[in-house]
Amino acid sequence: MDEIPVKVAVRIRPLLSKEILHNHQVCVRPVPNTQQIIIGKDRVFTFDHVFGKSSTQDDVYSSCIKPLLVSLIEGYNATVFAYGQTGSGKTYTIGGGHGAEEEKGIIPRAIQELFQAISENHNIDFTVKVSYIEVYKEDLRDLLELETNVKDIHIREDEKGNTVIVGAKECQVESADEVMSLLEAGSAVRHTSTTQMNERSSRSHAIFTMSILQQRDANNGATMISSKFHFVDLAGSERVTKTGNTGERFKESIQINSGLLALGNVISALADPKRKSAHVPYRDAKITRILKDSLGGNANTVMITCISPSTSDFDESLNSLKYSNRAK
């Protein structure tokens, strides 16, 4: 195979202070000097990148994301996903824009680098636009324009095969600070404090997109290059167990987020060496339809699987490692 369509990184967060307080033990760790992870006594998985508990935000950005930003400017689409159970570090890794400089996640770093590149390339005319969408129960919500009715947002494919989200606000931006305010405002909408909304934000996917248009004024005619970078904070991968109202025993119905299921199928179809002939099931969910032109093909994709190290999360961590293993 010429290109690996999806690279997979796994990041194990440190134990949180409340976990240390409750004497949680660690059940998953990187194998030193390898790209492997061991969970439990002896289950070993191999990935493209492995980040342990002392990895920094800069480590993750520099090794996984920087190359995608470089190719974005060369005209290729890119997607980064954060996958994992609620509380595993997805939002921390993707970065909603809060906190100290060194704590900043992927999005603020990518924004800064993009505007740095723009300021260094005077011969290119850049237009940058951002949008911020949430997918919840297969409905789209515009996090930059709350008044927009979910029914007025649609996914369409244009004649060139580009995915367009009709009805979603695209803000043209001139500086990194401007992007950060939009990101912060949109993220604040997602993370309100009521439990109902927290439930929603853990069950929904958030897609922050930077689209760039470059006009290069070459001597023999101008060229236009357009490309986009999606940053996706996926819904929590945990299985939601619903308790029935039948008294003595809990009836559990296991419900897995349909978007995550569809995404897993798309990613494993892309990773299949016979994929040229294989059907890639993009149409099965909104999230895969939105990302269609930025997953596979000439696009660069990185999935960062976030893992809690605690033995109390063993089952979910093992599930996440198995899911991510399908991408190879």
Q: Where does this chain bind ligand ADP (CB under 6 A)?
A: 13-14, 16, 84, 86-92, 306
**What is the distance between the alpha carbons of residues 324 and 320, in angstroms, rounded to a whole number?**
6
CB 39 within 8 A of CB 315: no
- Backbone torsion region of residue 76, taken as left when φ is above 0, otherwise alpha when ψ lies between -120 and 50, otherwise beta: beta
Minimum CB separation of residue 213 from ligand ADP in Å reads 31
* Closer by beta carbon to ligand ADP, 201 or else 288: 201
Minimum CB separation of residue 12 from ligand ADP in Å reads 8
* Closer by beta carbon to ligand ADP, 165 or else 306: 306
* Closer by beta carbon to ligand ADP, 4 or else 16: 16
| DSSP 8-state class, residue 35 | T
Partner from ligand ADP, Mg ion, none contacting 89, C-beta within 5 to 8 A by type: ligand ADP
Q: Which residues bind Mg ion (CB under 5 A)?
A: 90-91
Q: What are the backbone dihedrals phi and psi of residue 291, each rounded to the nearest 5 degrees, phi first? A: -90, 0
Minimum CB separation of residue 107 from ligand ADP in Å reads 13
* Closer by beta carbon to ligand ADP, 47 or else 92: 92
Partner from ligand ADP, Mg ion, none contacting 135, C-beta within 5 to 8 A by type: none
Partner from ligand ADP, Mg ion, none contacting 227, C-beta within 5 to 8 A by type: none
Structure tokens at 8: 């997979």
Residue environment code for 67-98, b if the CB has 16+ CB neighbours within 10 A, otherwise e: ebbebbbeebbbbbbbbbbbbbbbbbbbbbbb
Give me the residue whose beta carbon is nearest to ligand ADP: 89
* Closer by beta carbon to ligand ADP, 84 or else 97: 84
Query: Alpha-carbon torsion 56, 319, 203, 289, what sign?
Result: positive
